[in-house]
Amino acid sequence: MSPFPTSAPAGQMDFLFRCIGCEDLSSDAGQDFRCSRCGDLLEITYPDWKQAKPDAEHLRSAWHNRRLSPKPIDLSGVWRFRDVLPRLDDSEQVITLREGNTPLYDLPRCARIAGVPRLFAKHLGMNPTGSFKDGGMTVAATFARRAGFRWVACASTGNTSASMAAYAARGGLRSLVLVPEGKISWSKLSQSLDYGAVTCQLRTDFDGCLRLLQELVLRAPVYQLNSINPFRLEGQKTVALELLEQLDWQVPDHIIVPGGNLGNSSAIGKALLEMRDLGLIAKLPKLSVIQAEGANALVRTLREAAGKHLVSVQAETRATAIRIGNPASWKKAVRVLEATGGACEQVSEMEIAQAKAEIGAEGIGCEPASAVTLAGLKKLVKQKFVKPEETVVLILTGHLLKDPDFTIEFHRGELFKGSAGNVSALNPLRRPPAVLDATIDAVMRTLEQAEKS
Ligand code: F0G
């Protein structure tokens, strides 16, 4: 099959692609979303903003007023912010599942544990397919269909594929999923099956799946919906807008995100910089990225190579969503950390499990990859990077039910069986299910014991 030459939508465009390296501008992103001159990744930029910056007050009130509208494009917590997204000439073109509009919870007990006065969780796991991917997917799938593609494809640790499959199905597109065999949760795999994707479990890891996809898109007319697709990041940007709106435009001191392929940190960082440039916020929060120790490519890139070149790793972690050793958007993430003054930390498997249970004990379920944020916050407080009076927002990226095996193994005490570490610290958080005879006495005894503990 011949290469499919254009990934930019036909018709009037209010945006251009800009190379993050040489800053070359172009109206075509090719099939690999890389600069045709220097090979760096592309991002979307809005040249009109130079002449006629959208007015901050006008934006705020338009976004607020749209919450009262019954139109599908306004009911979407992503398209509600369409003034800072690539323009569509017709709102009917939108593929939406009513994504976004996710809750901001306070976490008083986790705040006490971490040692900060105010701690919030922006729970992106409350999106239609259970993860933050929906925010980017609604935009990227919409533009894929508008550009005339019939097939979309992604490599995934499970959440991108679930989201892509759902949006493709809603939009009448076919989808191809490449996932590492045996390395993603069944819950996520079940989603892409149910939404009708052609699902390939490849005998490799996520990085191997992504490499294969890069070759595939040059040979087949499929449109890549991984987060190197700059339309994805535009959609994911709206999380930061919605968060600031929920905080009444009061800027928190810190936002903490998990880091895998590093698209999300890049998107949220881009949004913060744009919001500052548009006068929506007066200062930047520090955006910090937390990785699992076993998948710490960005941590090592900063520590060992001062952010100049990628130090890739052979990734291993039970937080399978972020089991990524060769993150595609590492340069964008480094830029965001530098621009906002954020930190990059790593946390152990036990720290992740403990943090996840602590968040769960507040009635808020998230997947292990999301819990790295609380585990990382505890470290950043100890290091005095986060000060005792500062306000912190954790970005929870996926729902608890995305990976129930992890949670069940944790509570049954099976998660770290055979591992050398000291697991006793986790015991107070464990709530194993009791298997009992079906008698009142047995249940009463269990209740009494629980009351004492
Ligand atoms: N949290 C969850 C729940 C994820 O699914 C991912 C990434 C991340 C965090 C990391 O975000 O890659 O933007 O730095 N999941 C991708 C996937 C890779 O295929 O579902 P990132």
Distance CA 73, CA 309 (A): 41
234 in Cβ contact with 262 (< 8 Å): no
By C-alpha distance, which of 2, 43, 39 is closest to 335? Answer: 43
Distance CA 219, CA 255 (A): 40
User: To test the ligand 1 pocket, which listed residue (322, 334, 344) has its Cβ within 8 A of the most ligand atoms?
Assistant: 322
Residues 229-244: pLDDT tens digits? Answer: 999 999 999 999 999 9
Ligand 1, atom 6: closest residue by C-alpha? 321
Distance CA 264, CA 243 (A): 14
Residues 76-117: pLDDT tens digits? Answer: 999 999 999 999 989 999 999 999 999 999 999 999 999 999
Asked if the model's pLDDT at residue 210 lies above 80, the reply is yes
Query: Mean pLDDT score of the chain, rounded to an integer?
Result: 95
Distance CA 193, CA 45 (A): 35
Q: Is 280 in the pocket of ligand 1 (CB under 6 A)?
A: no
Residues 13-47: pLDDT tens digits? Answer: 799 999 999 999 999 998 899 999 999 999 999 99
Q: Is 131 in the pocket of ligand 1 (CB under 6 A)?
A: yes
- pLDDT band for 9, please (50, 70, 90 cuts): very low
Distance CA 86, CA 45 (A): 9
Ligand 1 atom closest to Cα of residue 257 = 9
Sign for the CA dihedral angle at 267, 269, 271, 273 comes to negative
212 in Cβ contact with 222 (< 8 Å): no
Asked if the model's pLDDT at residue 247 lies above 90, the reply is yes
Sign for the CA dihedral angle at 190, 194, 197, 198 comes to positive
By C-alpha distance, which of 370, 374, 375 is closest to 399? Answer: 370
* In the chain, % of residues over pLDDT 90: 93
Asked if the model's pLDDT at residue 321 lies above 80, the reply is yes
Distance CA 276, CA 253 (A): 14
State the greatest distance between any 2 C-alpha atoms of the chain, in Å, as a whole number.
76
Q: Is 262 in the pocket of ligand 1 (CB under 6 A)?
A: yes
Q: Is 30 in the pocket of ligand 1 (CB under 6 A)?
A: no
User: To test the ligand 1 pocket, which listed residue (41, 187, 261) has its Cβ within 8 A of the most ligand atoms?
Assistant: 261
Q: Is 368 in the pocket of ligand 1 (CB under 6 A)?
A: no
Residues 356-388: pLDDT tens digits? Answer: 999 999 999 999 999 999 999 999 999 999 999
82 contacts: CB under 8 Å, gap ≥ 6: 73, 88
Ligand 1, atom 15: closest residue by C-alpha? 321
The average pLDDT across 240-263 equals 98
pLDDT at residue number 217: 94
H-helix or E-strand containing 51?
Answer: helix 48-51
Asked if the model's pLDDT at residue 6 lies above 90, the reply is no
By C-alpha distance, which of 3, 37, 5, 1 is closest to 20? Answer: 37
Ligand 1 atom closest to Cα of residue 162 = 20
What distance in angstroms lies between residue 322's CA and the mean position of ligand 1's atoms? 6
Ligand 1, atom 10: closest residue by C-alpha? 260
pLDDT at residue number 4: 40
Task: Kindly list the distances between the CA atom of residue 228 and the CA atoms of 115, 232, 318, 329, 432, in Å, as whole numbers in the listed order.
Answer: 36, 8, 24, 7, 41
Q: Is 96 in the pocket of ligand 1 (CB under 6 A)?
A: no
Residues 53-62: pLDDT tens digits? Answer: 899 999 999 9
Asked if the model's pLDDT at residue 423 lies above 70, the reply is yes
Q: Is 159 in the pocket of ligand 1 (CB under 6 A)?
A: yes
Q: In the block, which residue shows the tokens 């990226």?
A: 397
Ramachandran quadrant class, 130 (left: phi over 0; alpha: psi -120 to 50; beta: rest): left
Distance CA 39, CA 24 (A): 11
Min mean pLDDT across 7-21, 154-168, 344-358 is at: 7-21
User: To test the ligand 1 pocket, which listed residue (159, 329, 366) has its Cβ within 8 A of the most ligand atoms?
Assistant: 159
Ligand 1, atom 19: closest residue by C-alpha? 156
Give CA 46 to chain center in angstroms: 23
What distance in angstroms lies between residue 324's CA and the mean position of ligand 1's atoms? 9
pLDDT at residue number 11: 52
Distance CA 294, CA 119 (A): 27
H-helix or E-strand containing 265?
Answer: helix 263-277
